Amino acid sequence: MEDSQFPSLDARLRAMGEALDGAFREGPDWVSYHALNAECLYVTPSVRPWMNDEHLVGRSFASWPMREEDRPRWASVWLQVLTGRAAARLVWGHGALGASRWVDSLLLPDEYRGELVGVMVWHRDVTDRQEREWALEASIERLQVAYGLARTGYWELDVTTRRLTWSQEVYDIWGVDPEHFASTYDAFLETVLPEDRPLVEQAVSRAMHTHTYELEYRIRTGRGQIRSVRSVGRYHERDGGRGVLFGAVKDVTAQKESELALAASRELLARSDKLAAVGQLAAGIAHEIRNPLTALRGFIDLMYQRARSHNRRYLEIMRGEVSRMEAIVSELLRLARPDRPQFQQLDLVDLVQEVVAFMNAQALLHGVDIQYAPRAASVTVAGDSNQLKQVLINLMRNGIEAMPRGGVLRVSLWEDSGRACVQIADQGSGMRPEALARIGEPFYTTKEQGTGLGVMVSKRIVADHGGELLIESEEGRGTTVTILLPAAQSPA
C-alpha cells in the first residue's frame, strides 16, 4: 500500500485507522496492522463482539490466544511475507473468551515510499465453515470404514492435481500392488477398457456441474482379467476452492454374469416352450397329412405308369413336391416323437466316411468337392449310428446348398482331450450375426425352401449323445459347424 501524500508514517497510520474504524465497526471481518517485529499496532472495532482488542494490540502474534501448534505456522507465513513481499494466508484457531473459534487470515505487505513498513492482516471468522469441513471429513472416514465392511472400495480424486487416493479394497479389486501403481487419474484410465474410457471421462466432467457421479464400466486388472465395476460419488470443493471427487466402487462382475445367465435361462425357457408347442403342432400335422400324402403318392405313381411321355414331366414335378412334403412330415414326426438313441460302440472315422460317400452324388450335382481328412485312424464314440448319420447328412446338405456356384466342403475329424470332433466347413456366403444367433429356432431358416427344423433336430440328437453342436459363420467367408462328442475307449 504505497502512498506519498502523508508527511510521515505515523500520519499515514492514523488516516488508515480512521478509515478502517468507519468501515469495520461490525461484521464478520476485522483488520489488524502490524509492525515489522510482528507487534500489533491497530485492530478494527469489529473484533470486539468475540475477542477483546487488549488481547491483540501491543502484542506480537506469538502471544495472541491461539493453539500452540498454530504459532510455528504463523511464524512461517510471517517470514514468507517479509522476505517475499507477497500475500499469504493461513487458517488458525484461537480460544479467546473461553470459546474455540477459527480464523482465516490474509497477510498483505505494506510499503511506504518504496520501503516495507508493516503488514496489514484481514481476518474472517470461519468457524462454521471449518466445522462443516470437519463433519465432512468425519463422514468420509465413517464411509471408508463402512465400505471396507461391505467389501466396497473408497476412492478420492483431487481434480486439480489429478492425484488418486484408493483404499486397500480398491487395490484388491484392481489386482494391483499399491507400491507399484502410480496413483494418478491417467494411470487409472489406462486400466479402463478403451471402449469405456470416454464414458468415464464424461461422467467425471459432468460431476463438476451436477455434483454426483454414477457409472458402470469395465477394467483390466493387474492379473489380466476383465471385470465390471460400479462406481458412485460426489463432487465437493474444499478449503481454498480445491475440487475433490470422492465415492465408492464395487466389483459387480458376478452380478453381471448372473444377469447374463438369467437372460440365457429365460431364452432357453422360451425356446423350450416353442419346442413343446412345435412338438404338439407336429404331431397334429403329421396325423392329418400323412395319410392323404400316401394316397396322393400312390395315385401319382399309377398315373405316371399310364401317362404319355409329354405328360410325365408334370407328374415328375408333382412326385418331387409330394416327396418334399413327406420329408417335412418325417422331420415333424421325429420332432414330435423322437426315437430314443440305441447306443453302441462306433468308429466315427468309418461312419463319417460312409456319409461322405453317400453325399458325393448330391455334391457333384452342385459342383461341390467334398474333401474328407480324418486326423486319426480311429475315433470311437458311444452312439446311435442312424441318428448320427442323420445329423451328418443334415449338416453336409446345408453346406452343399450354401454353395450354389460350387466350391469345397471340408470335413475334418480328430480327437482332443477326451472329445471326438467332427468339423464341416463350407465356402458359402456365410450368415449375418443376427441370423447366426437365431439358427436352431423352430421354423427359422436362411434357405428359400428350408423348414428350419434340420439344425434344431441335429442339436437335439447331439445333446442326447452328451455332446455339443457349435456353429461359426462370417458373412462372405462361409460357415463352419463343429460336432463335439464324448470319446470312448477303443474296444480291445
Contacts of residue 293, defined as CB under 8 A and 6 or more positions apart, other chains included, come to 322, 325, 326, 329
Alpha carbon separation from 331 to 353, 446, 452, 467 (Å, rounded): 24, 18, 10, 21
Clarify whether residues 238 and 303 are in a common domain. Answer: no
Distance of CA 383 to the CA centre of its chain: 43
pLDDT value at residue 47: 76
276: pLDDT strictly greater than 80:
no
- Domain containing 91 equals 9-125
**CA–CA separation, 443 and 113 (whole Å):** 99
What does the pLDDT read at residue 45?
82
pLDDT of residue 437: 74
Cβ atoms of 353 and 372 closer than 8 Å: yes
Are 455 and 440 a contacting pair, CB within 8 Å? Answer: yes
Amino acid at site 437 = A
Whether 278 has a pLDDT exceeding 80, the answer reads no
State whether 105 and 148 are in the same domain: no
pTM of the model: 0.39
* Residue 198 predicted with pLDDT over 90: yes
Q: How many domains does the chain have?
A: 4
Average pLDDT, the chain: 80
> What are the pLDDT digits (tens) for 65-75?
788 888 898 89
Residue 3 scores a pLDDT above 60: no
Pair 438, 322 in one domain? no
Is the pLDDT confidence value at 2 over 50?
A: no
Q: Are 475 and 430 in contact (CB under 8 A)?
A: yes
pLDDT digits (tens, 9 = 90+) for 128-163: 777 777 776 766 666 656 555 555 788 889 888 889
Question: Which residue among 300, 319, 336 closes a domain?
Answer: 336
pLDDT in tens, 409-433: 999 999 988 899 999 999 888 888 8
The CA distances from residue 443 to 247, 271, 370, 396, in Å, are 51, 12, 28, 19
| End residue of a domain, out of 199, 219, 251 | 251
Q: 258 vs 253, 268, 447, CA distance in Å?
A: 9, 15, 36
Q: Tell me the average pLDDT across 391-411.
A: 89
Q: Let me know if residue 2 belongs to a domain.
A: no
**Are residues 351 and 477 both part of a single domain?**
yes
Instruction: Choose one of 336, 364, 399: the last residue of a domain.
Output: 336
Is 4 among the domain residues? no
Q: How confident is the model at residue 454 (pLDDT cuts 50, 70, 90)?
A: confident
pLDDT (0 to 100) of residue 200:
92
Q: Give me the amino acid identity at 411.
A: V
Please, are residues 36 and 116 in contact by the beta-carbon 8 Å criterion? Answer: yes
CATH assignment at residue 51: 3.30.450.20
437-461 average pLDDT score: 66
Note the pLDDT of residue 223.
85
